Structure 1
Amino acid sequence: MALRLLYLIVLRVFGWIALLARSQASKDAEILVLWHQLAVLRRQVAVPRPSWADRAILSALARLLPRCRRCHLFVTPRTLLRWHADLVKRRWTYPKHGPGRPPVRPTIRALVLRLAAENPGWGYRRIAGQIAGLGRKVSPATVWAILKRAGFDPAPRCSGPTWAQFLHAQTFGILACDFFSVETVMLTRLYCFAVVEHATRRVHVRGVTANPTAGWVAQQARNLLLDLGDRNL
């Protein structure tokens, strides 16, 4: 499909280049004919269905038109944005492989529930570690799901403050960082590195790059710490 799309676009580009050799009067006459044909088609076709090649050409040429002339297109700017969103979705949609995770063996489920019943203070990670020591491989997430469905607390609290109390006490020293991405018109994915202060909910946008390497992220983190140090935090 990509080769067919490229072939159609190349043919139309060569057709436009051939127009340069024609006289201005001939071009004006053809424009009038095309305008009349477009008016006739608009009366007969309620919903046009352009191909992917047509969509690509219209999206590229629409940027060259003045705003006052874009209203004469048979598609709206919102439709052009929807075409771009559909193209991005088609690019980043991957086929599914297999029916999913295999079911947990009954023996593993029984062992998890037995360890949880005999050791009420153990959490799901401790139970997963004990099972791994017995030569059985099971992920902590699977143990958490088994305990949750059986009515056990997957992470029972022993002594000390709760997680909410710990976060409240340490909120001025906690920073949360993550990436969010956007797609450009040319389907290039850009990554934005952002940091949030838990105490003030202040957001720091540190930088945007198409290749977020470890060195780049480390430098952005150092720059942020320097900025926070200047504020005497």
Structure 2
Amino acid sequence: MKQQFESTGKKLRLDNHQRRNLAKRGKAMGWAQLQKYATLVRAETILGWHRKLIALKYTGKRVVRTDRQECMEVIREPFVKLAEENMGWGYGRIQGALSNLGYKVSMTTVGNILRAKGIIPSPERGKQSNWKTFVRSQMDVMSVADFFTVEVWTLRGLVRYYVFFVMNLAKRQVEIVHIGCQVNGAVMSQLARNMTDSYDGCLKAARFFVCDHDALYTKEFRQILTNAGVEVIQTRVGCP
């Protein structure tokens, strides 16, 4: 190992087997001998590996894998997904849906799994819907929008262009709606009409439009979207 280090000059990367061998021999040599002969690895590091080796051998934490535990790990995700996407479903309804998928569990098991994940029973669950749950349940009909800038060298020098884009959350599809060095309320109003066009508008199938509090989202811009059946949701001030 020393010859390898001297020939390459690079830091040695030891695997766990090599660390265990060094830890066993280092512990047998003792602190004084290690300080004298350990040149590639410090004596403190070798003895630290030995302490970790002992801790792993005598730890009381053992994960017992049974067929039932493995089955519960597989169905735990559908449990949580059904509860979050269907706020009005109780334990019995979720149990029936899982039975249709081929999983036979009791309502007590359903309740235990959901409580462990911090999901309260129905109907209280429907009264405490959070933003994450709302986005997940409405992702197919939700679009988000934002601006970013690009510095472009032109004959007049460096010019800043504004890029306005809209992304469909479910499809992860981004559409560039506008690129220009001048953006104002009149331009945004025309963009709103283009986006809500019933033939090729990027918001023709959307129900929710999420944006921030940029001044370019004028009252007229938001009113055009609302008249087209698209609800405008503005995020909190300062929210990234």
TM-score, normalised on structure 1? 0.30
Q: Which has the higher contact order (CA 8 A, sep 6+)?
A: 2
TM-score, normalised on structure 2? 0.29
Query: Which has the larger share of helix?
Result: 1
